[in-house]
Chains A and B, each alone.
Chain A
């Protein structure tokens, strides 16, 4: 179990980023960087020197470290890979995990505003708007599963039997919410070069060296947790999956995680970015699905 935790925390997140980038390159008929390129990137950034704006204070230096610790805690507490959760009693509560993710976003926004750069403030304000829209969706979506399982403990939620329709609805909801939360394609273009349209990139424009390495690593961890939760929820709609246990469950879980990553890359290949004012209606669909799932969960009793 310790080994699984180490692999989950150190290898899978960066590998997932590499796979998403590779799949995206293939979608654009480029050869793309090898899948382990993010490991090299992080190692290179860790060796490089750092440039810090003279306007920046201690928040800018500490925010990436706090963000990384919070993201690691969320990655340990959430059942995103199919590995059994550590026995931390009530700490594996779904609200705790969701609000740890929100805390990571909050410190990232503080750091973006701290540098005094105009783009940082712009990105932070957009990020705050999107997270405001995503938060109810995720709380209601996972809440529907919690209602069906009769507990807010994630280890119970992801082992209790559940109506496959509810699981499928919540899985799609979480996937859409994850796209918005992670600043992915229909909501934000992660490879844009125009600062005025950036969300996540505008926030980390001032980071460099070790600071940037920590930020990127925390972002990879958050991607893993959110896409992994969506993949695990979708898997529960598949017949036969709840019967698996141990290594087979872990292997299927990781395969599903990378498949969802590939799906995100395909979406980035074929979709165009939404207009900023179109994002609320896009997320309203996901809110609608989560409410529907909650209704079904309530009716089933």
Chain B
């Protein structure tokens, strides 16, 4: 399998997701998310040029502004307000979780050719997209703070976006745009929930929420 330039760009995004699994600093993870989403926007624009689809260029611009700009900035602001700096991780230590993420990256690559897809070309992209989804899931599983789980959700969403973009003949523009703004509203609501959590319990550590049972 020979990887194209777009696939290297998307692959760098997937590697950034794996790197984010090994981070303990929330601010650095947010920067990783912004860089990863920006790379996906670049890959989208490159695909748009290749397919002569101008609306994909527009989509890339919207992704760059909303998902790579506004959402990480909002989350960084929230982290600053709540005075969150480090997420020590739960279940797996960050180092081990990074190595596990690499394992998932390889798994994604070897699983991807088993799914039948309507679009031809860029077969490697399916592997990158699956790797993004898997690392997002791993981030959600192995993090302690509600904010980091939101970051994991966004990584997963990036993976689904990449898959739908590259493995289908192209979604209608209105659907793609709708998804982007759905994510924006979802993150805003989740941010409000995190503020509420912090006000009620004075922390946003999800491993301690089990105490609520009784």
Contacts and interface: CB of A to CB of B under 8 A. Distances in A.
Interface of A: 165, 280-281, 284-285, 287-288, 291-292, 295, 299-301
B114 to A, nearest CB: 15
B99 A299 contact: no
A94 to B, nearest CB: 22
Given A281-B95, A284-B22, A291 B102 contact: yes
Contacts, number: 35
Interface of B: 1-3, 8, 15, 18-19, 22, 94-95, 98-99, 102, 105-106, 109, 124
A300 B102 CA distance: 18
Contacts of A301: 1
B102 A292 contact: yes
A281 B22 CA distance: 9
A288 B15 CA distance: 10
Contacts of A300: 1-2
A112 B50 CA distance: 63
B36 to A, nearest CB: 16
Contacts of A288: 18-19, 22, 98-99, 102
Given A165-B8, A288-B102, A292-B15, A299 B95 contact: no
Contact of B106 (A281, A284, A285, A295): A295
Contacts of B18: 288
A280 B99 CA distance: 12
A295 B105 contact: yes
Contacts of B106: 291, 295
Which secondary structure characterizes the binding site on chain A?
helix
A280 B95 contact: yes
Given A281-B95, A284-B22, A299 B102 contact: no
Nearest to A278: B95
Contact of B99 (A165, A284, A295): A284
Most buried by B among A165, A288, A301: A288
Given A288-B18, A299-B3, 12 more contacts: A281-B95, A288-B19, A288-B22, A288-B102, A291-B99, A291-B102, A292-B105, A295-B102, A295-B106, A295-B109, A299-B1, A299-B124
Closest 7 CB pairs of A and B: A281-B95, A284-B95, A291-B102, A295-B106, A299-B1, A288-B102, A288-B98
A196 B118 CA distance: 63
B9 to A, nearest CB: 12
A300 B99 CA distance: 22
A24 to B, nearest CB: 30
B46 to A, nearest CB: 18
A299 B109 contact: yes
Nearest to A299: B1
Nearest to A165: B8
Nearest to A291: B102
Contacts of B95: 280-281, 284
Contact of A284 (B15, B98, B109): B98
19 contacts: A280-B95, A281-B95, A284-B98, A284-B99, A285-B98, A288-B18, A288-B19, A288-B98, A288-B99, A288-B102, A291-B99, A291-B102, A292-B15, A292-B102, A292-B105, A295-B102, A299-B3, A299-B124, A300-B1
